[in-house]
Amino acid sequence: MASLSARDERARESFDSAERIGRFSRRNMLRWLIGLSTGAFAVAFGIPAFALKTLQVVVQEIKSGDEFVYATAASGNASGDPVKAGDLEVGASVQAFPRGKTDNQRNLVQIVRVGPGQGKEGLVAYSAICTHLGCVVYAALNTNGQIACPCHASRFDPAKGANVVGGPAPRPLPSLPIDVKADGTITAAGPLDGPIGVA
């Protein structure tokens, strides 16, 4: 085979060099594109996932041991003050939240002193959310000693498990077991015995 001229040799070296540079550039471009796609994927899925996590709201429910505090100022007590057993005479009723869980309106409970021999030291507690369409019941009992709903006039008997005694509510208010501590504060002794509001 005839030997290459010096000019042909230079041309071939130049061609080889250009090809090496081209291969190198293509590799770099490919790496760059992969990096770019990975970054775009992370942005597309990472940011919404982070935002979703940030927006997640922890719903705080009533748990055994929760101490009850006044939902609103009543009988000389400010909102947030602990409800004491001695605050309630027979036939009296207050609305209360578990301390630290007032953001969840569905935690509102009605504590009623029904009389000796019933409940815990004469006290019973129920969800204050009506089982008809979820309105908050009146804080005070009606003249018949019943828990009443302002929306469609459902009425519940606190001395008989908050059974429905009038109106469209389909079931009793869920009942909450309670405890009375030595200092008179009232705490939850378990969860509500049924779903809150509209089931």
Give the nearer residue to ligand FES in terms of CB position, either 135 or 165: 135
Instruction: Give 188 or 196: the residue with its C-beta nearer to ligand FES.
Output: 196
- CB 161, min distance to ligand FES, A: 17
- C-alpha neighbours within 13 Å on the C-beta side of residue 180: 16
CA distance 102 to 133: 21
Smallest distance from ligand FES to CB 108, Å: 14
Residue pair 147/139 in contact (Cβ under 8 Å)? The answer is no
Instruction: Report, in Å, the least distance between residue 136 CB and ligand FES.
Output: 9
Nearer to ligand FES, 169 or 196 (CB): 169
**Residue with Cβ nearer ligand FES (137 or 180):** 137
Number of other residues whose CB lies within 10 A of the CB of residue 148: 19
3-class secondary structure per residue, 49-93 = HHHHHHHCCCCCCCCCCCEEEECCCECCECCCCECEHHHCCCCCE
Extract the tokens encoding 22.
């081209």
Q: Which is nearer to ligand FES, 161 or 167 (CB)?
A: 167
Minimum distance between the CB of residue 93 and ligand FES, rounded to whole angstroms? 16
Distance, CA of 124 to CA of 189 (rounded, Å): 12
Q: How far is the CB of 190 from ligand FES (least distance, A)?
A: 25
Give the amino acid at 52.
Answer: L
Q: Which positions touch ligand FES (CB under 6 A)?
A: 130, 132-133, 135, 149, 151-152, 154, 167-169
